[in-house]
Amino acid sequence: MPNNVNPLVVIAAYDGLCTFEFGCAFEVFGLSRPEIGPDWYRCATAAVDAGPIRGAGGLTLVPDGGLELLGEADSIVIPGWRGPGARAPEAFLEALRQAHRNGRRIVSICGGAFVLAQAGLLSGKRATTHWHHVAKLAAEYPDITVEPRALYVDEGDVMTSAGSAAGLDLCIHVVRKDFGAKAANSVARRLVVAAHREGGQAQFIERSIPPVSGANLSALLDTIRGRLSETWSIERMASEARVSVRSIQRHVRDATGMAPGEWLQGERVAQARELLEETTLSVASIARHTGFGSATNFRNQFRAIVGLPPAAYRSRFHGGAV
């Protein structure tokens, strides 16, 4: 859970607002969630431009305030932008820089990554944006490591998402970090979306991706999820799918955006989170259930990925508000 009770999320609103991206952020952070508890987010909108804020489709937005709200925020969301070649106002860029210096978390959806790049907040970091613009982002900002396949990239203080609907994935990821997997799952169910969507944006790029020959990759991944306590080497995955090791590596990466081992580790951690939140199983039992083997290995791997040791994660997210 965030350090502040009722952390404030400020969504930037600009003339020419991308209403879908704005709606994704507001649906997640701006609606009350009594089923989660009293510590849920507060949400406000901050005007980037003077005058009426006109959104796509002819909508007009009345923001809660101006750029001064960015200084009060715990998290700031930039829901898209006017276009990858459009320069953001310098006052907006400086407000973002100042907020970042003060420890605010900044989240961009789709083309909002270009605003973060203009502000210098992605320098030396990994980032993503809509697949149609990843080449432009990489070419114009060579100091950014652009991840063209990712649905979103979490660099801790700065997060970026791929195009449009991937912003919803990122916003739910923020909920998961702040309030735990159970809360994120609850929000996802209310929105009728997957709490953790498989596959990077590679699956949406305008090129054909060859199917796995002779096997149903989705069925294989489901089988692995249901048997995480077992050892799943790359050789075993390939054997189960009746393809070569090289083929399974390629097809898992095409389907999930991750190498097989990385995907498997993420699934183990996801199940471990749920068991820590919803059961009283010991750390050793969870380590066995999720395939980490020893409690020591589980603690080390979980902490490296989640940022908290299992006991601290359970203390924060088991019961209570979520």
pLDDT classification of 87: cutoffs 50, 70, 90: very high
- Residues 185 and 287 both lie in one domain: no
**pTM of structure:** 0.70
The verdict on 152 and 279 lying in the same domain is: no
The range of the structural domain enclosing residue 223 comes to: 208-322
Is pLDDT of 191 > 70?
Answer: yes
Average pLDDT, the chain: 88
CATH number at 15 reads 3.40.50.880
The rounded percent of the chain whose pLDDT value lies above 70 is: 90
Are 56 and 119 in a shared domain?
A: yes
- Domain ends where: 165, 191, 217? 191
Residues 81 and 35 in one domain: yes
Of residues 273 and 115, more confidently modeled: 115
Query: Per the domain annotation, does 203 fall within a domain?
Result: no
pLDDT of 181 strictly over 80: yes
In a domain, 3, yes or no: no
| 176 falls within a domain | yes
Query: What digits encode the pLDDT tens for the residues 134-157?
Result: 889 999 999 999 988 788 999 999
Say yes or no: 12 and 156 in one domain: yes
- 202 belongs to a structural domain: no
- Separation between Cα atoms, residue 80 and residue 141, nearest integer Å: 18
Both 61 and 156 in a single domain?
A: yes
Specify if 55 maps to a domain. Answer: yes
pLDDT in tens, 233-252: 999 999 988 889 999 998 88
pLDDT tens digits, 21-39: 999 999 999 999 988 888 9
pLDDT at residue number 292 = 96
Stretch 82-110: mean pLDDT:
96
DSSP string, 46-108: EESSSS-EEBTTS-EE--SB-GGGGGT-SEEEEE--S-TTPPPPHHHHHHHHHHHHTT-EEEE
Does residue 255 sit within a domain?
yes
Length of the chain: 322
Domain count, the chain: 2
Q: Are 245 and 238 in contact (CB under 8 A)?
A: yes
Q: How confident is the model at residue 216 (pLDDT cuts 50, 70, 90)?
A: low
Sorting pLDDT into bands at 50, 70 and 90, what band is 192?
A: confident
DSSP bridge pairs for 224? none
Q: What is the helix (H) or strand (E) element at residue 92, kind and residue range? A: helix 90-101
Confidence of residue 322 (pLDDT cuts 50, 70, 90): very low
In a domain, 227, yes or no: yes
Distances (CA, A) of 255 to 6, 259, 260: 37, 10, 10
Tokens of 49: 């431009």
Q: Are residues 170 and 216 in the same domain?
A: no
Q: Is 282 exposed, middle or buried (0-12, 13-18, 19+ CB in 10 A)?
A: exposed
291: left (phi over 0), alpha (psi -120 to 50) or beta: left
- Beta strands 60-61 and 53-54 are antiparallel
Which of 132, 162, 191 corresponds to the end of one domain?
191
Residues 258 and 168 in one domain: no
**Letter for the amino acid at 298?**
F
Whether 168 and 219 map to the same domain: the answer is no
Asked whether residue 185 falls in the same domain as residue 233, the answer is no
Q: Are residues 217 and 155 in the same domain?
A: no
pLDDT value for 199: 53
Same domain, residue pair 161 and 253: no
Q: What is residue 143's predicted lDDT score, i.e. its pLDDT?
A: 95
Domain end position, chosen among 191, 218, 233: 191
> Which CATH number fits the domain that encloses residue 298?
1.10.10.60
Per the domain annotation, does 134 fall within a domain?
A: yes
Question: Tell me, what's the pLDDT at 109?
Answer: 97
